[in-house]
Chains A and B, each alone.
Chain A
Amino acid sequence: MKKTPLVFSLVKEQSVFMTIVISAMTFLAVLALGIALSVGTGVARWNNEWNKYATVQIVNPENSASVKKILDTNKDKIEYVKEISKSEMEQMMQPWVSNGARLNNYLPQMFEIKVKNTSDIPVIKEQIASKAKFLKHSSALKTSISAGWKLVGITCLILSLILISIGVCVSYISRNIAMLHKHELEILNQVGATDKFIAHQMQIIVAKISSVACLIGFVLSVPVIAMILSTAHSARVGLLATLTLSGGNIIALILLPILIVIFSVYITKKTTIKILSRS
């Protein structure tokens, strides 16, 4: 059934203004959520991946045999063990110490391991800890991961601010509509309309405008999010390259404009009932 408000006619300028404001807000909200979700997914994947890697450093050569034995005993839990050769270590040290070969006598014996399950890491670590240094790769990268989560936090904060702004704008516009249609509101009151009924009339108007506005905002934000992800992937390595949106993320992005419409309609109801209760 076609929903048409009984009384209210919205002047063109006002409906255009409301459409532009909610479109812009929806655009920013979807963008903020898109960034938060892609960074969040990237960080989670990045963290999950490096959680399976660890480096074992045998500083005391006397413990070498016992560490190797422990690694052998846990063969079923380990996907691979790779001993890092002295030359590889020299190569790694080169950027900081020219001709890393001079450190030859000080370099520990090192193994890089990858376990099958993240839960195996603490088991192996407990066995090796007294004999060698056991460093989780994710611990070494925790600053990147922490920066990623902070970025998610900041974008969520921005998203909250945008949603608050939408609430304030819709409330302001609803108030304006009510003021503009004061005469009609009075007549509705006179013919026995309940506050709920009058609020419902306002909700129909706001639902129509915000649905169109949210659709515009969403459509505009999609190519921008795609551009951000494509630029991030062009970094090829590091956390940026892992930014992505899962199927669930895309559903969340589609749901956001729908939630904004519901939120706008709810705010309209609250505002109108508040105005009517004061009249």
Chain B
Amino acid sequence: MTISFETNNSDLLLAKSKNKKWYKTAIFWISAPLILITLTCVFASLLPLSDPNNLDLSSTVLPPFFMHGGSMTHPLGTSNLGQDLLSELIFGGRTTIFIGLVGMLGGALPGILLGLVAGFSRGIVDTVIARLIDAQLSLPFILVALAVIASRGHSVGVILTVLALTTWPFFARVIRSEALSLRERPFVMSLRSAGVTRTRILLKHILPNLFGTVVVLSTLGIGAAILIESAIDFLGLGVTAPGLSWGSILASGQSQIGTAWWIAAWPGIMISVFVLLVNLLGDELISRFDPRYRNR
């Protein structure tokens, strides 16, 4: 196997021309299925699906349509209580995606704010916030979940709180280091020496420069939030019956794993696909926004 050195310029060969049609770009092809899935789940009640809470005890644990014993009335099979898996998946998706989005926002907003303040103010404020970030990062999300849920019990509100608590430091750390380096840039110094107030610099100059980073972090944050949320649901600490989310469906499928493995398979596939698309989108956005990574 020959190994050769390749440097930055080699990617000149592979540089895409900037003038591609919008429907041919990678971003389009990644976002399209994402948006499709999201819309399907959001408008679940408008779709001709059977009510997922409709227990049909006469047709429990039916396999998906492509297996022996399955049919198109329940294309993905049924659960151990006769609920149609396809509708469970779509209604459950509504919950999961919602929690993913809101959970991410709950972490992004305080995280970005604190990161900005820390990076820009420096001094004692920065030290405190930085230590806080480290402290929170040293608490893995499971432990935070355990601690909160132990005293508060299960609910969507608790999950959102846990998500916010566990994800804010990631946003804060990245934004803080960007703000720190931006602060040292000549253009900021010249603005300050011209008498522009720090708040104004922060809002009108620093923030727009961070736009790309914020977009990328948020995109990746949705994926992370969904994974955390599913894990919490799976452990029985979050959304539980009769609530539906991809994680809770997985949990119910675990007990049937020997006889009806598909109950656990579908939600896992959904989660993986959705998070994969989100991560791909995030990667694409990184290459668009950050010139350093343009030659990945």
Q: Do A and B come from one complex?
A: no
Give the A-binding residues of B (Cβ under 8 A): none
